[in-house]
Amino acid sequence: MTLIFFIQAVILGVIEGLTEFLPISSTGHLIIGAHLINANHPNIEVFEIFIQLGAILAIIYEYRTQLLNKTLHLSDQKSKTFFSNIFLAFLPAAIVGLAFHDVIKIFLFNPIVVSCALITGGILILLIEKKTNIGSTKTVDNISYKQSLGIGLFQCLALIPGTSRSGATIMGGLLLQLDRKTATEFSFFLAIPIMFAASFYDLFKNLHSLSSDDFWFFLIGFSTAFISALIVVRFLIKFVAHNDFKIFAYYRILIGIIFLILFY
């Protein structure tokens, strides 16, 4: 692996980890970041999907006790409800994503679409924050099947690059009367199945193009994504306890306008 590929793997891994769980679109930032640093690795698109697993590992590590406890007590009603809610919320985006995967990749994965989605998403966050009251659902265990399915439908919007999976699910949760911490944590948990599914689907489809030369490039991106995502997850839970998401909306609008000027 050349030095330039090493530097690009670190930069893109950090971008993935820092943006995956913030409502600012990791996919959008990766697409634009790869353009800005001229990342021309032969398997860069597979790499961008794969390093999401590093970010997901950060969630699993941070919530390992809670996840293990629920897994070991599947007969418990709260555990059954939790996993049922995750499955219900996972289903819509999985079906739509599988059906339109190739179309989305071909037509929507470009800086102009990302820039417009960043701006639009920022405006929507401001509107939602203006109209939404503090939700009555205070814990993940109290989320209803109707709320989880609704969040899953909102997650379908994130199939448009630049929309943000975490942004769509957190804002959807707020509209469905989850409080900020609960909406954020449910978004974290929901990321596990949807991103595992997307990552392994892409890896399977592109397995023939991968070689042993890709190993270190992928590993470095994976590792830096894990470390930076772990920092963000811990920060975000503390942040939402006392703040709204308007700052991320302003950031999205500003960065979207800048990218639109650069790439239009």
pTM as predicted: 0.92
Model pLDDT, residue 43: 85
Q: What are the residue boundaries of the structural domains of the chain, listed by start?
A: 3-263
pLDDT digits (tens, 9 = 90+) for 171-209: 999 999 999 999 999 999 999 999 898 888 888 888 888
Amino acid at 43: N
pLDDT digits (tens, 9 = 90+) for 127-162: 999 876 778 899 999 999 999 999 999 999 999 999
Model pLDDT, residue 199: 85
What's the rounded Cα separation, in Å, for the pair 114 and 89? Answer: 24
Q: Are 155 and 194 in contact (CB under 8 A)?
A: yes
Two tokens, residue 104:
């989305």
Model pLDDT, residue 248: 97
- In the three-class reduction of DSSP (H, G, I as helix; E, B as strand; rest coil), residue 241 is classed as coil
Amino acid at 4: I
Longest C-alpha distance within the chain, in Å? 55
